[in-house]
Amino acid sequence: MPEPPADDSNPASAGSSSLIDQIVRDGARKMLAAALQAEVDAYIAAFADERDDNGRRLVVRNGYHAPREILTAAGAIEVKAPRVNDKRIDEASGERKRFSSAILPAWARKSPSIGEVLPLLYLHGLSSGDFVPALGQFLGSSSG
């Protein structure tokens, strides 16, 4: 009996990957996209009251960066990070300020080893369900 044609929209037909691996990667991609969007939204909201001489906001969303592949414990996933246009000027250096993601640095092409992350999450509350402080220590805190 001949095999049905490959359908790229169906995760079950994606070559050598199992259905569960496809579901995990898709879930990881969606969670990462939501986390990046929340991080950008918080950054923009923090500077929403800063305006130029014409009354325009100095910090605004500006599309997405080019998609790139990140190697994670769930496998390779494609990420499109939101872009921020920050027109504020650093008074000390005279250069424009820039948004830099704590979740996905510009140079990152793979996630930290799962072997490094899991013990940290466990020690700081994964077992109790409160892992936000552990992620704050791991990713860095913006309230420093």
**What is the pLDDT tens value at each position of the chain, 144 positions in all?**
444 444 444 444 445 568 988 898 898 889 889 999 999 999 999 999 999 999 999 999 999 999 999 888 778 889 999 999 999 998 899 899 999 898 888 877 777 665 565 565 666 565 566 656 655 555 555 444
Q: Is residue 129 part of a domain?
A: yes
132-139 and 114-123 helices, crossing angle to 10°: 140
In a shared domain, residues 120 and 140? yes
In a shared domain, residues 62 and 122? no
Nearest to 84 by CA among 109, 106, 112: 106
Q: What integer pLDDT is reported at residue 45 of this predicted model?
A: 94
In a shared domain, residues 103 and 123? no
Q: What integer pLDDT is reported at residue 127 of this predicted model?
A: 57
**Which of helix, strand or coil describes residue 130?**
coil
Q: For residues 28 and 74, is the Cβ–Cβ distance under 8 A?
A: yes
In a shared domain, residues 69 and 122? no
In a shared domain, residues 35 and 70? yes
CB-based contacts of 3, cutoff 8 Å, min separation 6: none
Structural domain containing residue 106: 11-110
Number of domains in the chain: 2
pTM exceeds 0.85 for this model: no
Nearest to 103 by CA among 31, 43, 16, 32: 32
In a shared domain, residues 97 and 116? no
In a shared domain, residues 125 and 72? no
In a shared domain, residues 68 and 130? no
**Rounded Cα gap, residues 23 and 29, in angstroms:** 10
In a shared domain, residues 72 and 137? no
Q: Is residue 3 part of a domain?
A: no
